Amino acid sequence: MGKKIVRLTESDLVKLINRVLDEQTAPPMGDNVKKMVEDCFMKNAEFKDLVKVPTCKAIAMEILKTKELPSDMSQGMKCAGELASAIGDDLFTAFGKLTSIGSCLIDKATKGSPVMY
């Protein structure tokens, strides 16, 4: 089979690089943690495909670790954008769902068994 040449636009290349970087910076999750995060996303946004929302995954890990909502709005807006695209909502609706998801994660982190990373 011969080699195939694929031409990428600058926009395609930027998207590809950003996706790879997002996947590399998203922290790995243990099964227990993944289930807790998926449960909160399902309960509050009817969504659990965390691969499509790597920034949200990273924020969820931070919330579970610190047991408080993050103060960095730039990451929150990026996460809301990812979630809005993934579930087909507008940005403001997705941002509102993130507050509920964050509260759910704090509840799970402060009650019951300790979080295993």
Q: b/e map of 74-90 (b: 16 or more CB within 10 Å)?
A: eebebbbbbbbebbebe
The pTM assigned to this predicted structure is 0.66
Q: Is residue 103 part of a domain?
A: yes
Q: Is residue 29 part of a domain?
A: no
Model confidence at 25, pLDDT cuts 50, 70, 90, reads low
Q: The domain containing residue 77 runs over which residues?
A: 49-111
Residue 11 in any domain: the answer is no
26 located within any domain: no
In-domain check, residue 27: no
Q: Is 28 exposed, middle or buried (0-12, 13-18, 19+ CB in 10 A)?
A: exposed
List C-alpha distances in Å: 107 to 27, 64, 80, 89.
21, 9, 21, 25
Give tens-digit pLDDT for 26-49.
555 677 888 888 899 999 898 888
Number of domains in the chain: 1
